Amino acid sequence: MQSPANKAASDWIRPTSQEPSLEETVSRKIISSYRDRLDWMLRVPEWESLFAEGLEALQLPGPRKGIGLRPALNALLIENKYTLVRWVLRRYRHLFPSSYAVRLSNDFGLDLFNSLDLDEHLNERQWQSLCSSLLFALSKEHRRYKRAQALLFFAYQDLIEKTVNRVVFDPAKRHDCTQEGCLALLHAIDKVDASKTSLAAYAQMWIRRQVKNFIMGERFPVHVPINLASKTLRHGSGASSPSDDGKKTGKRDSEAEQKMVRLMERLRQPSVSLNDVYDDHGSLAEQIPDERADSPRSRIMRRDLQELVSTLIAGLTDKQREVLEMRYGLNGHPEGKTLAEISRAIGISHQQVSMREKRALQKLEGVLEPYLSEIFSR
């Protein structure tokens, strides 16, 4: 259910006609203009070497199998592009072309340089002036972008619930799918342009695709690339159609692809929940032994051993018992102490404490050896 503030934002932006309202148009222009300026900054050749390093340092999605640096940068959210650009500006230490400096100054409305007075590259003082001014201007523009993004998000957030209710039939998955829908709506807002095309249709396409990909990913017990899974499953369902039996086999029906189809079909097999009832004896999870848990026999033996140790310690001399209790945290001592700590607490030398501990352990060794060998051999 929308809050009054969100509903007001929705009513404020949503037009009664097919044309977008003035507020939506302005918000889309702010986002589009800000994105274009960030994209231009991400194409500056002098910063190219820092982009890959920045993606890794900021833990952002970077180049990976099948995706190079440039597609990875283009796919970033505006929020991540902003963070990466700020990171690069703070770490760039080389000569910067004056032509790029003039372009950046004009794009962000900075009156810093006269192009006639500039050399081919900025000097150190000019670069520091440009860098500090750009960081300030970026912060201001980013706040404008966040306000425009929030207005569009609140205006179209009802699309998330509508789409999830149409696509997701399992109530247990709707909460997670709603979160995926929120991310998809943010992606759609980041991709808007200043045209008068319908943002609702575009956002709904993003939400539907994100939710479907999430559901498909949940069906597999192992990680499978969603685009590969979707393509292979479609081919697999087409290959199994009776109408294709007499058709000529093409590249799609190659041996490698048939193997992939069979693999995907196996991965699509329904998983078994550990909460399912197993032979009327409780859930399946209750029937799986915990390898890290102690057996009842081991617990009983350890309890007997503790009682035996307490009895044997009581038979030691007062001085030996005091040292052992402090050394190993027994009988009210919260934790074990070092020999130096015991020496300071009792007021005797480190060597005397060590001798008392040694004599006490020698008395206990002969009695405890059979129990220890039986317990720790298992």
Rg of the chain in Å (alpha carbons): 35
pLDDT band at 280 (very low <50, low <70, confident <90, very high): low
Answer whether residue 278 shows pLDDT above 60: no
Q: 34-48, 239-253, 302-316, 360-374 — which one is most confidently predicted on average?
A: 34-48
Q: Which of these three, 129, 149, 169, is where a domain ends? A: 149
The last residue of one of the domains, among 102, 131, 149, is 149
Query: What pLDDT score was predicted for residue 182?
Result: 92
**Helix ranges (DSSP H) in the chain:** 4-13, 22-41, 48-57, 69-74, 78-91, 98-107, 124-156, 158-167, 171-190, 199-219, 226-239, 255-267, 284-287, 296-314, 318-328, 339-346, 350-376
Band of residue 17 on the pLDDT scale cut at 50, 70, 90: very low
The position carrying tokens 């999430």 is 214
Tell me what the pLDDT averaged over the chain comes to. 78
In a domain, 180, yes or no: no
Residue 268 lies inside a defined structural domain of this protein: no
- Is 58 inside a domain boundary? yes
Contacts of 183 (CB under 8 A, 6+ apart): 210
DSSP letter at 279 equals T
Is residue 221 within 8 Å of 274, Cβ to Cβ? no
pLDDT value, residue 1: 44
Assigned domain for 269 exists: no
The number of distinct structural domains making up the chain is: 2
**Shortest CA distance to 84 belongs to which of 95, 73, 97, 69?**
73
pLDDT for the residue numbered 16: 40
Q: CATH number of the domain at 310, please.
A: 1.10.10.10
Q: Is residue 136 part of a domain?
A: yes
Q: How confident is the model at residue 323 (pLDDT cuts 50, 70, 90)?
A: confident
Higher pLDDT, 363 or 352: 352
Q: Which residues constitute the domain of residue 361?
A: 296-376
Tell me the average pLDDT across 19-42: 90
Q: Say how far apart CA 41 and CA 44 lie, in whole Å.
A: 5
Question: Among residues 83, 114, 149, which one ends one of the domains?
Answer: 149
Q: What residue type is assigned to position 214 of the chain?
A: F
**Is 21 within a domain?**
yes
- Residue 358 covered by a domain: yes
Residue 64: C-alpha distances to residues 69, 185, 246, 307 (Å): 8, 25, 41, 60
Mean of the pLDDT values across residues 104-111?
Answer: 89
pLDDT-derived band of residue 371, with 50, 70 and 90 as boundaries?
Answer: low
Residue 367 has a pLDDT of 65
Residue 257: which pLDDT band, with cuts at 50, 70 and 90?
low
Confirm whether pTM is higher than 0.75.
no
Residue 99 lies in a domain: yes
Mean of the pLDDT values across residues 160-176?
85
How does pLDDT run across 192-247, given as a tens digit for each residue? Answer: 888 878 888 889 899 988 888 887 776 665 555 556 556 655 555 554 454 444 45
